[in-house]
Amino acid sequence: MTKADKMENLISIGELARLTGITTHTLRVWEKRYGTPHSQRLPSGHRRYPKEDVPRLRAIAKALESGYRASKVVSGTLEELQGLMGLKPFIEPNSNSTSTEEAKISSNEMLIERWVKGIHMYDDDSLLQGFHQQWNKVGPLKFIMDCAAPLIERVGTGWETGELTIPHEHFATECLSSFLTSKWRQLNSRKEGWTAILATLPGETHSLGLLMSAVVASLSNAKIIYLGLNTPLEDIIATASKNNADLLCISVSSGEKQDDPEDGLLQIRKELGKKIKIVAGGRGTPENLPGVLKMDDFTKFNDWLGVFESTLNFT
């Protein structure tokens, strides 16, 4: 790493406070009392802090909100903080279902911050290992809802606030994309059920929404034909027709470079007729399009697939 790269990864205490929600006064007290966060002094005499410590400090802030004392958590690693938050409902004798659910959410947030630290470090080995461990622990649907979707949201926020750079965002996207691709293809292997086509409209550049949809659709008996990004309308229509598709799923992000999704979806609906069901999801999906079912939640999509599948005749 060059000197310029090192400087880019150092931030002022004011910036650290903005990214973590912890006041500059508190950060100074912690550094003096607990030795963390650890600053580096520049030749000018100013102190600078490593950006990669942001996820851990955000986790500390969450632990403090949950009632832990600073002396118990400020020096902790992300792994220790996640374990502490995950154990909270078991060590509090009066915990109820609400506190258990809150602890689960906090533990998930700790997990996301651990992954963000891996993104800061460009540590694909730990990131992919973490994905595999959590997938095996909670299963595909919960991984999508509780892990993948929140991570995407967190990375987006990190990029918007300046905590994460464009290379960080690209790195995270590639790691998650490769993981989700391998998983849905495993689930889709050797299936001979009904047919679902998954695609995006022309101009679409974001694939994670479609990949998460592929994972959820793979939990059904559908045989998935995955067309991916930036698919011409005529190719979507032709593929759906030639393969006697039962379902067409379109992912629409809120990106600015893509063509008008409303026109594209209506054209597809018109060309395919009423036989093929069309479902569209994502932040850029238009409302109330005739013949196009908008789906804004992966759990609802999973439930809907079960109902839809029950109406089909296939062997």
pLDDT, residue 255, reads 66
Give per-residue pLDDT as tens, 92-139.
Answer: 445 454 444 555 556 788 889 999 999 999 999 999 999 999 999 999
| Distance in angstroms (rounded) separating the CA atoms of residues 149 and 85 | 21
> Which amino acid is located at 245 in the chain?
A
Phi first, then psi: give them for residue 190, nearest 5 degrees.
60, 30
pLDDT in tens, 196-241: 999 999 999 999 999 999 999 999 999 999 999 999 999 999 999 9
18-30 pLDDT per residue, tens: 888 888 888 888 8
Q: Where are the domains of the chain?
A: 54-182, 192-310
Instruction: Report pTM.
Output: 0.76
List the structure tokens of 86.
């995950």
- Give yes or no for residue 91 having a pLDDT over 50: no
159 vs 65: which has the higher pLDDT = 159
User: What size, in residues, is the chain?
Assistant: 315
From first CA to last CA, the distance across the chain in angstroms is: 58
CA-atom Rg of the chain in angstroms: 23
Summarised one tens digit per residue, pLDDT across range 28-42 is 888 888 888 888 888
Q: What integer pLDDT is reported at residue 142 of this predicted model? A: 93
Quote the pLDDT of residue 89.
43
Q: Which of 154, 158, 132 is nearest to 143 (CA)?
A: 132
Q: Which pLDDT belongs to residue 157?
A: 92
Q: Are 108 and 150 in contact (CB under 8 A)?
A: yes
| Cβ neighbours of residue 120 closer than 8 Å, sequence gap 6 or more | 51, 52, 54, 55, 164, 168
Please say if the pLDDT value at position 170 is more than 90.
yes
Predicted local confidence at residue 11, as pLDDT: 84
Give the Å distances, CA to CA, from 97 to 100, 102, 250. 5, 9, 37
Tokens matching residue 31: 């550094």
Spatial contact of 280 and 252, defined as CB atoms under 8 Å apart: yes
Supply the CATH classification number for the domain 192-310: 3.40.50.280
